[in-house]
């Protein structure tokens, strides 16, 4: 046992940071996409003829609001695969 070296510490911090980035980054898109889906359900209930248009608009809106989560994913991937310590 010769203790933890600096390289291992950097690796550990990068992995921890990757997990935290993804965890916190997923909160916003999760809430936002759920809200969009809920509103779309309400709208379809009120007006079932427009279900196709509403679903399409909902999917586009969700994919756009997902981008913050995707940024978190990209940061996590960078931390896992690029930071070698």
Torsion of CA 45, 46, 51, 55, to 10 degrees: -80
Rule CB under 8 A: say whether 64 interacts with other proteins. yes
* Contact range with other proteins by CB under 8 A, out of 6-14, 24-32, 42-50, 60-68: 60-68
Residue closer to other proteins by CB (options 9, 60) is: 60
CA distance 38 to 27: 17
What are the CB-based long-range contacts (under 8 Å, 24+) for 2-10?
A: 6/85, 7/85, 8/85, 9/85, 10/83, 10/85
Under the binding rule (CB under 8 A), the answer on residue 73 touching other proteins is: yes
Contact pick of 32, 44, 66, 83 for other proteins (by CB under 8 A):
66
**What residues line the site for other proteins (CB under 8 A)?**
59-60, 63-64, 66-67, 70-71, 73-74, 77, 81
């Amino acid at each position: 046992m010769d203790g933890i070296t600096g390289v291992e510490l950097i690796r550990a911090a990068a992995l921890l940071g990757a997990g935290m980035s993804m965890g916190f980054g997923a909160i916003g898109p999760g809430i936002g996409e759920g809200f969009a889906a809920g509103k779309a359900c309400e709208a379809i209930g009120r007006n079932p003829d427009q279900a196709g248009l509403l679903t399409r608009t909902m999917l586009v809106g969700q994919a756009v609001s997902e981008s913050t989560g995707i940024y978190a994913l990209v940061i996590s991937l960078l931390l896992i695969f690029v930071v070698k310590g």
